[in-house]
Structure 1
Amino acid sequence: MNKLYALSILLYVFVATCLIACSGSSKKSETLPESKHFFWKVSDENSSVWVLGSIHLADSTLYPLAPVIDSAFVHADELAVELNMNDEEVVKEVGEQSAAQGMLAEGTLRDLLPQGMWNTVDSLCTAWNVPIVMIEKTRPWLAAMTLSSYAFMQAGLNPEYGIDYVLLDRAAMDGKAIVGLETAEEQIGALADTTESDSAGVYYLKTTLHEIAEFESLVSNLMQAWKTGDDEMLRRLLDDGEEEVPLQESKFKDEFEQRIYVNRNAKMADSIATFLREDRKVFVVVGVAHLALEKDNVIETLRKRGFKIERF
């Protein structure tokens, strides 16, 4: 399907927000939290905006959505998502930006990687029936996103069941206005390593390959955390582990988190504050990591600005 092909390009960006940061334990929480969701109502004196954390690739077990989520969506006038993939111009821009920032002008991926890392990439492509030609001219960061997208799909998750995509289709059917919180250039630019050395991209790929080895456990726990609203489990999956990393790799990780989380979270919070100021009835859907990680997440940023926060 053409839509799935276009979505697969975008998913390189989405999936990275989980995979590259995942280096903590993925053991299941021993006790379940009270029934709740990654779903918040943000209010000022006279208006409210609903905010839902999405898993961008999922399966049918997430549906139907909880009644409180469904009811809030029905009563909203607008749906706000990271990127409006129902807009053909946005889809086109995603493809153009991915190609512009993610393809090598000279040489091949193999030239940039240690032999052992290249062998792992080659083995995964063979095992998954992924033509190596799809990988060999990509920069390391885009290779990492490509492989992590395939890993999610190998684990049984599908973009068609992603929460934002399901709600995008519903919004289109219901005639709701759709708002994009970011541009393709902004989102892909946050992830791309286009430096001459590609050193950060090689680090991202190395981390991704390590996580793929434990992917079934990761996916199982990620879905369980979302279904139960388990903050502790989700943060354990998304936060860094305790092991020390070399100074240079720590620098890459910190720079990545600043671009992919902190900077984007601030902009998302600004957009929600604007919706409230303009008294708009908006249902906002963004990746759950933007709402649940402890440092500078969207919800805590809005709380610090004085907005009333309620979790459901």
Structure 2
Amino acid sequence: MIARLAKLCLVLQVLCVLLPGWLLLSCAGNTPRDAGEGDSRETAGQSDRQVAGQPSQHFFWKVSDANSSVWLLGSIHFADSSFYPLDSVIETAFVNAEELAVEIDVTDDSVSTEIASESMQQGMMPAGKRLQDILPPEMWNSIDSICTAWGFPLMTLQVMRPWLAAMTLSAFAIQRVGIDPTLGVDAVLLDRAAHDGKAIVGLETASEQIGALADTTDSDSAGIFYLKSTLREVSELDSMVARIVRAWKTGDDALLRETMADERDYDEGTAEKEISDKIDEKVYKSRNVKMAERIAEFLSEDRNVFVVVGAAHLVLDEDNVVDLLRRRGLKVQRY
């Protein structure tokens, strides 16, 4: 199973860097809804929680060893003004923290530059080759149809490897449904941390983030698989986002897992299953291990850190960050 939210979160973080440049030049005719006006899809999730009148359970944990603790928040990288202010238990923990740790600090100019550079270096087709030349005709026809319907210049994709073309289409689809990455939970907390003078720590490097998505092999098999799955997912992005937002606002693990599960169960031993597992390992599992290691380091160093990572890394499957921390013998309490 590929954690689709983990992929979407990666796209959104890279989007924060790339969108103002080469992508927005192709998107000028499409204006997202004003996030400040709120969105009925998202507000509905908040209203459900308020009407229920029950204590809220968040994607929020306190992780402790014998003499110190850190806070761990599961973020979604898109939101609107209805998300704020955050619940008091989250707000208090953030205010009292001395450091903010995020997957990657996109506010750091050097990191942003590296993301753009890595994307271009690893995402362009070799000289003399076109994306159309390596895709099955039916897949290229689907891309052609989507670009025509969206008013997106097809030639923009011709020079891209499949993985970058998939990311570009995802980013454009995200913009079309009115998602604002600048109001994502981690983005808002990053801005606040910079304003408040908190130290900001990146859990990953730019090359690690891009490497989780990039496929630069001669066959581009993983990239083509990713592009194929993206073509399926963009058609349901609006409803998928609505369910993710509802799950986050209500602390509903089951809804988040159900929404993010890949609906296709590939047979063992098939090429599709092998590729799916490899992508899952790169995008999700191996990154979870590194995140858990860094959090454990914070505790061993008695650092007062507020950690924010994508919610998918905390609740999906058995190899999530929360489970990995518990296996280390750490105390993990949910709020």
Gaps of 5+ in 1: 13-27
Aligned to 1:85: 106
Partner of residue 176 from structure 1, selected from 175, 198, 208:
198
Partner of residue 258 from structure 1, selected from 274, 278, 281:
281
The amino acid that maps onto 2:156 is M
Looking at structure 1, the residues matched to 243 and 16 of structure 2 have their Cα atoms a distance apart, in angstroms, of 27
Gaps of 5+ in 2: 1-13, 24-44
1:186 aligns with 2:208: yes
Maintained 8 Å contact 1:83/1:183: yes
Report the 3-state secondary structure (helix = DSSP H, G, I; strand = E; otherwise coil) of the residue aligned with 2:318. Answer: coil
Maintained 8 Å contact 1:81/1:286: yes
Normalised TM-score (structure 2): 0.82
Which deviates the most, 132-141 or 168-177?
132-141
The amino acid that maps onto 1:173 is H
Maintained 8 Å contact 1:152/1:219: no
Maintained 8 Å contact 2:163/2:227: yes
1:58, CA displacement in angstroms?
Answer: 2.4
Looking at structure 1, the residues matched to 253 and 306 of structure 2 have their Cα atoms a distance apart, in angstroms, of 21
1:68 aligns with 2:89: yes
Report the 3-state secondary structure (helix = DSSP H, G, I; strand = E; otherwise coil) of the residue aligned with 1:188. Answer: helix
Looking at structure 1, the residues matched to 55 and 18 of structure 2 have their Cα atoms a distance apart, in angstroms, of 34
Looking at structure 2, the residues matched to 4 and 195 of structure 1 have their Cα atoms a distance apart, in angstroms, of 23
The amino acid that maps onto 1:8 is L
1:260, CA displacement in angstroms?
Answer: 1.2
Aligned to 1:123: 145
TM-aligned CA distance change 1:5 to 1:130, over 3 Å: farther
Aligned to 2:71: 50
Aligned to 1:283: 306
Which deviates the most, 246-255 or 122-131?
122-131
1:303 aligns with 2:326: yes
1:5, CA displacement in angstroms?
Answer: 6.0
Looking at structure 2, the residues matched to 178 and 247 of structure 1 have their Cα atoms a distance apart, in angstroms, of 43
Once the two structures are superposed, what CA deviation does each residue of 1:152-189 show, in whole Å capped at 9, x if it has no partner?
22222111111111111000100000001111111111
1:198, CA displacement in angstroms?
Answer: 0.6
RMSD over equivalenced CA pairs, Å: 2.4
Partner of residue 164 from structure 1, selected from 169, 179, 186:
186
* Matched length: 293
1:208, CA displacement in angstroms?
Answer: 0.9
Report the 3-state secondary structure (helix = DSSP H, G, I; strand = E; otherwise coil) of the residue aligned with 2:58. Answer: coil
Report the 3-state secondary structure (helix = DSSP H, G, I; strand = E; otherwise coil) of the residue aligned with 1:79. Answer: strand
1:242, CA displacement in angstroms?
Answer: 5.8
1:59 aligns with 2:80: yes
The amino acid that maps onto 1:234 is L
TM-aligned CA distance change 1:35 to 1:7, over 3 Å: farther
Report the 3-state secondary structure (helix = DSSP H, G, I; strand = E; otherwise coil) of the residue aligned with 2:125. Answer: coil
Which deviates the most, 277-286 or 120-129?
120-129
1:38 aligns with 2:49: no
Normalised TM-score (structure 1): 0.88
The amino acid that maps onto 2:199 is A
Once the two structures are superposed, what CA deviation does each residue of 1:191-239 show, in whole Å capped at 9, x if it has no partner?
2111101111111111111111222211110110111111001111222
1:6 aligns with 2:6: no
Partner of residue 247 from structure 2, selected from 225, 232, 236:
225
1:42, CA displacement in angstroms?
Answer: 0.3
The amino acid that maps onto 2:225 is Y
The amino acid that maps onto 1:217 is S
The amino acid that maps onto 2:242 is S
Looking at structure 2, the residues matched to 158 and 280 of structure 1 have their Cα atoms a distance apart, in angstroms, of 32
Report the 3-state secondary structure (helix = DSSP H, G, I; strand = E; otherwise coil) of the residue aligned with 1:254. Answer: helix
Aligned to 1:25: none
Report the 3-state secondary structure (helix = DSSP H, G, I; strand = E; otherwise coil) of the residue aligned with 2:141. Answer: helix
1:7, CA displacement in angstroms?
Answer: 4.9
1:243, CA displacement in angstroms?
Answer: 4.0
1:128, CA displacement in angstroms?
Answer: 2.6
Which deviates the most, 132-141 or 66-75?
132-141
The amino acid that maps onto 1:43 is S
Aligned to 2:38: none
Partner of residue 96 from structure 1, selected from 108, 113, 117:
117
Report the 3-state secondary structure (helix = DSSP H, G, I; strand = E; otherwise coil) of the residue aligned with 1:269. Answer: helix
Give 1:105-116 correspondences, 5 Å limit. Answer: 105-106=126-127, 107-116=129-138
Looking at structure 2, the residues matched to 41 and 111 of structure 1 have their Cα atoms a distance apart, in angstroms, of 51
1:34, CA displacement in angstroms?
Answer: 6.0
1:145 aligns with 2:167: yes
Looking at structure 2, the residues matched to 310 and 280 of structure 1 have their Cα atoms a distance apart, in angstroms, of 18
